[in-house]
Amino acid sequence: MKKLFLILGFLFTISAYAFNLEECYKLYPNDADTVYMNAVAVLNAANEYTISELQSKNGYILFLNAGKYYLLTVTKRYQNQTEVKILPQNSDYSLGSVVAADVFSLLSEKLKTPIEQVK
């Protein structure tokens, strides 16, 4: 009986942490400052997100959604390539991929503004 509870507990742990890390990571062909400022604008404009802490030097934003904290990190990879990660905090991975996908879609829409050539 004890083995049965151990196996059930192990299976529950695996299913509770069925979290796709690949959905929480994205590269953008923009400089890091532009992506960071647009991420702040997107999170600030959306009603379902509350920004708790900003730190522009390290490039992170801590925000709240439905009582759970998430950390958005902006990192410069190359001159015009920026890496963005959105990970849940407090080891609560239940809705992390869904929130990350929503923020990435909002951020991608914001960054799609056309750049006009200088004449």
More confident residue, 15 or 34: 34
Mean pLDDT for the stretch of residues 83-100: 79
- At 54-68, the pLDDT tens digits run 998 888 999 999 888
Model confidence, pTM: 0.75
Exposure letters 75-102 (e unless 16+ CB within 10 A, then b): eeeeeeebbbebbbeeeebeebbebbeb
Alpha carbon distance 106, 84 (integer Å): 13
pLDDT of residue 113: 55
Percent of the chain with pLDDT over 70: 72
The one-letter amino acid at 115: I
What local confidence, expressed as pLDDT, does residue 66 receive? 85
Q: Fill in the amino acid letter for 32.
A: A
CATH domain 20-111 topology: Alpha-D-Glucose-1,6-Bisphosphate; Chain A, domain 4 (3.30.530)
98-115: average pLDDT: 82
Stated as kind and residue range, the H or E segment containing 95 is: none
| Segment (H or E) for 76 | strand 68-78
Give pLDDT, residue 18: 53
